[in-house]
Amino acid sequence: MKKIVIAIDGYSSCGKSTMAKQLATALNYVFIDSGAMYRAITLYFLNNNIDIKNDTAVSNALNNIHLKFVYNEAEGKSDILLNNENVETAIREMKVSEYVSTVAAIEAVRIFAVAQQQQMGIAKGIVMDGRDIGTTVFPNAELKIFVTADVDTRVQRRLTELHNKGNMNISFAEVKQNLISRDHIDSTRTISPLRQAADALLLDNTHLTREEQLNIILNWVKERSGNY
């Protein structure tokens, strides 16, 4: 079976990671959550009071960061380790969400993360989601997908996720403002801005169930790889 690289990009809270995990499971591919990598870096910066405007401080901090994905059998998914500590829950907190787009816009941070991501993709058979996977990380990926959805739909998905994790004091308006802000930062940053690659297939999942979108993507995989 010919294994390929599948790059999934798109806006915040479009369900990219959930989609990528489902797809990886269906194909028996490795799932790499690039967003988790940027969140883990952000968490380190926050916990260590790194001045992101100080290039030397950022560079030194990156030299002290080791990221690794490990399979969580109980959850049936991969968790990210930051310097050998499982931070999968901590990186989803609102304080990280409010800061991650700013950190991810730093050139040194992107160079650091992209180098690791490209190394992970050498063996093929991976699904990776993020903001610049099809444009910067894997510009030659056999299948590129750009995901979008209605803003209010994305807000409700994110709010539900936060509430399910016990964050009951966060409002719809707060989440919407956070998403709009992140969309702006991601789309206008100088380094690897969020944009649809010229050869990426557009998927608007506003009104699609998870099963419907998975079937659509599996057909795309079949077209690009010859089978699945």
- pLDDT for residue 133: 94
Is the backbone of residue 212 left (phi > 0), alpha (psi -120 to 50) or beta?
alpha
In whole angstroms, give the CA distance from residue 126 to residue 118: 11
Model confidence pLDDT, tens digit, residues 161-194: 888 888 888 899 999 999 999 999 999 998 889 9
Sign of CA dihedral 97, 101, 106, 109: positive
Q: Which domains does the chain have, with CATH numbers?
A: 5-214 (3.40.50.300)
- pLDDT for residue 75: 75
- pLDDT for residue 227: 57
Q: Region 146-163: what's the mean pLDDT?
A: 94
Q: Region 125-148: what's the mean pLDDT?
A: 94
Position with higher pLDDT, 76 vs 177? 177
- pLDDT for residue 1: 65
Nearest Cα residue to 190 out of 141, 132, 143? 132
Residue 45 pLDDT exceeds 80: yes
Tokens encoding 142: 């056999």
